[in-house]
Chain A
Amino acid sequence: MLFYVIRRLLYAVPITIGVTIVCFSLIHLAPGDPLSTVLPDNASPEVAAQIRAAYGFDKPLPIQYLVWLGNVAQGDFGVSVQSRRPVLGDVLPAVRNTMILAFAAVLLGFSFGILAGAVAGHVEGSLLDKAVTAFAITGVSVPHYWLGLVLVVVFAVNLGMLPAMGMGPGGQSGFTIDWAHLKHLILPAITLAVIPAGIIARSVRATVAEVRKREFVSALRAKGMPRPRIFLHVAKNAAPVVLAVSGLQFAQLLGGSILVEMVFSWPGTGFLMNSAIFTRDLPVLQGTILVLSLFFVLINLIVDVLQVVFDPRIKRA
């Protein structure tokens, strides 16, 4: 197992470097100049050159990339072009805020998705099954942005029950686990949870229905095993698939959602990336993507290890 984990960790290194190269290249392929957001339009060529050199944008791209990578390896993610704040100082609070939202969405989405999917898989073909399937398809299809706005209009503007935006009275710096702050979490968490709930419900339903048709389940039934015990066997056999799907969904949620975080002014990684993209703030964008890709790799690794724990055949394969 240890060798397996180490091998997977080593795989993460080229994956992460690959992500940074692709990200760096794509950013520079996009039209626009990072300094255009910083420099006034009539800055003289001399002033523009001076500022360009001060930001390090006067060097060839490969050199810029290698300098950045070298600094990152030493823990220095650079400073924001816009604010001149250290990138890591912006990225880490944003990751924390996104994690708060992601965990709330995981709690909602996964519990509903797994529960609804398991029930529907057990009563395959029934009205309940069809209702779960309809919900799952709707959940997967409904645009985040639209759903968020509708929830805001209904629950914040019309009913005045919940806040429309932000992380609470004190904002992110004063976020605590109390109702004054948690109520700010409800609408964005529901919005964010709908897609994973739909995906997980569909996957769990299909897997449970498929496992229930296997011969060993018939054998267990014929043996006279009580239904709750049979359910446990079915659940254990369905677990690797559910884990894989859930892991991917979890990783995606941790990546933040630009649209949901914009609608709710939630200062997470999606909000951060959105402003970094529009202001061509390359160090912030690269730093955020790097941190998020590390998260993605890490969560996939955890999921892979858990799958092995649940189903040792995977390790042998």
Chain B
Amino acid sequence: MPINPNRAEQAGPLASAATLLRRLARTSALAVFLATGAIQILPAGAEESVLRVAMTVADVPLTTGQANQGGEGTRFIGLALYDPLIAWDLSKADMPSVLRPGLATDWSVDEETKTIWTFKLREGVTFHDGSPFTAEAVVWNLDKLINKDSPQYDTAQAAQASQWFGAIASYEVLDDLTVAIRTKEPDATFPYQISGIVYSSPAQWEALGGDWGKFAEQPSGTGPWKLEKLVPRERAELVRNADYWDPERITASDRMILLCMPDTSTRVAALLSGQVDFIEAPPPDAVPRLQSSGMQIVTNVYPHIWPYQLSYEEGSPFRDLRVRKAANLAIDREGLAQFLGGLAVPAKGQVNEGHPWFGKPTFEIGYDPQTAKTLLQEIGHGPDNPLPVKFLISTAGSGQMQPLPMNEFIEENLNAVGFKVEFEVFEWEALRARRRAGAMAPENAGAHGLNNSWAFWDPNIALIKTSGSDETPPGGFNWGGYSNPAADAVIAKAKVAFDPKEQDALLAELHQIIVDDAMWIWVVHDLNPRALAPNVKGFVQAQNWFQDMTPVYVEK
């Protein structure tokens, strides 16, 4: 907005100062014009195709191998610079992602012991530094994570990978391109677990004097992108790995600039003002504005559920199946999804309908306040004599969507049928600490539920470790101490079902059991929105926490 120069003249005694200011402004404007002109005629890098992405994280995820900062870290750094032995197929949007060969072309489990897994490695793969990817490199990397006496042991990576290597008992090189990994017990979910481990270059680590700090600045993996520049807490610049082993996944962009932008408004403004091309997680209230500016809003279901995990401790009203069912039937999920700008879909269980593990539950989760009231009346509660329940919730957090308004919406729903909801509100990490402790911990006494969004990308996280009666924290995800012998029996079978189809069928059976038992209160699945500039092409939003950025480019 230009300043009206006449205003300064009206000040009388300040007229001479105003004249001086005007001269200064003219001089500055000239300087600005010259500088801008100089920038506009800069030819350097004009032909390079660059994709600029605004991430939600406040720091560049760990670049040494096992990325930190959750799904986003793995999405943009872990699986960009590195590869696992078994990878997720992220090329399809219309079906849940499945596992496919990565650095291993083939794998099998020993028929007799069911504990020895043999991986045949892909030939001709090289790390970014040119050194070959071999069985020795696989064992070296497993030592990096598991063997704390090995020189390459790295605490930071070990911490990140500890959820994946817990099943491993030992490992050895069979030949240059064959590795054997022995698990502690028969575990048919092992392919999912090994898909979380990626492989850094031993040669690069040696060349950098065995210093993981230096390796973070000059990492070397086998992935489709190579790190060219790293500015902590600000940006990572990745360039194409032209020698990538999978010709289908040679990157469409020459360069991908990843920017740390934790503030939602900043990401939206950066996209609208043309400073970035692709933003993660735009807030629902910004979507109409983005759409009206021609931006693409890309959504898809993915393995995410926004639930209340319930306590089965003594004194919890949710020990009663009728109360659990009443709570599940009291929530107007369609209304909530609408409230969220259509960026969520109603949940009918832990996994979404259409997922191979959904099964055929008989308990139909939907909005039925009348039945909910009837169920509560059976135990003597109703709007006149409400049943007090207390939930632990967070103000924000990864995957938590809009926790405060969503909880207020649900509070109204639940109170309307005869609950009296009380919330104890935590900052995100504080809530996570409560989750890690389990409902049985003294600090969680009196809490009947915990609102913590959940992922279901592998059988353990999704179902086995959330519903197994021996999977309480620490070590398991069964926060509330749910126990059902029927579920345990199916889990025991699923753990040793080495045929993927048989395993899927058993997991569907398990899902059916826990939905019919209303194990948790399931509310909505997030649709994982992303906003892209109108000229961004090639992005396929897989039904996964991770995404493949290799086909994405900015059309000129």
Contact = CB atoms under 8 A, between A and B. Distances in A.
A299 to B, nearest CB: 25
A172 to B, nearest CB: 6
A32 B269 contact: no
Interface stretch (A14-22, A208-216, A236-244, A258-266): A258-266
A275 B429 contact: no
A36 B432 contact: yes
Contacts of B233: 90, 94, 267, 271-272, 275
B216 A38 contact: no
Nearest to A153: B269
Interface stretch (B95-103, B400-408, B470-478): B470-478
A19 B155 CA distance: 30
Interface in A77-103: 82-86, 89-90, 93-94
B262 A275 contact: yes
A132 to B, nearest CB: 12
B311 to A, nearest CB: 17
A247 interface: no
Contacts of B436: 33, 36, 41
Given A32-B433, A149-B265, A42 B475 contact: yes
Interface string A21-49: 00000000011110111111111110110
Interface stretch (A58-66, A160-168, A189-197, A303-311): A160-168
A275 B59 contact: yes
B232 A83 contact: yes
A84 B212 contact: yes
B162 interface: yes
A45 B148 contact: no
A160 B275 contact: no
Nearest to B293: A157
A268 B166 CA distance: 39
B429 A37 contact: yes
Nearest to A271: B233
Interface residues of B, number: 61
A50 B145 CA distance: 12
A51 B155 contact: yes
A45 B273 contact: no
Contacts of B148: 50
A33 B433 contact: yes
A36 B430 CA distance: 9
A171 B38 CA distance: 19
A55 interface: yes
Interface string A203-226: 000000000000000000000000
A157 B39 contact: no
Given A43-B162, A82-B59, A271-B233, A157 B269 contact: yes
A156 interface: yes
A164 B270 contact: yes
Given A31-B426, A40-B162, A274-B58, A160 B274 contact: yes
A44 B474 contact: yes
A51 B261 contact: no
Contacts of B489: none
A72 to B, nearest CB: 19
B428 A278 contact: yes
B166 A44 contact: yes
B323 interface: no
Given A54-B155, A128-B11, A38 B262 contact: no
B58 A278 contact: yes
B108 interface: no
Given A55-B155, A82-B59, A171-B234, A165 B269 contact: yes
B266 A265 contact: yes
A48 B11 CA distance: 70
Interface string A64-75: 000000000000
Instruction: Specify which of A83, A119, A149 lies most central, judged by the most chain B CB atoms within 10 Å of its CB.
Output: A83
A280 B429 contact: yes
B156 interface: yes
A42 B155 contact: no
B331 interface: no
A32 B430 contact: yes
Interface in B414-449: 426-430, 432-433, 435-436
Given A47-B166, A51-B155, A149-B265, A271 B58 contact: yes
A85 B232 contact: yes
A279 interface: yes
8 contacts: A40-B160, A44-B475, A47-B166, A55-B155, A82-B68, A164-B275, A165-B270, A279-B58
Given A43-B163, A180-B35, A275-B59, 10 more contacts: A32-B429, A32-B430, A32-B433, A42-B465, A90-B232, A157-B272, A164-B269, A171-B234, A179-B31, A265-B260
Interface of A: 30-33, 35-45, 47-48, 50-51, 54-55, 82-86, 89-90, 93-94, 119, 128, 149, 152-154, 156-157, 160, 163-167, 171-173, 178-180, 262-265, 267, 271-272, 274-275, 278-280
8 cross-chain pairs, A with B, having the tightest CB-CB distances, nearest first: A179-B35, A275-B58, A40-B163, A31-B430, A32-B429, A164-B269, A156-B273, A54-B155
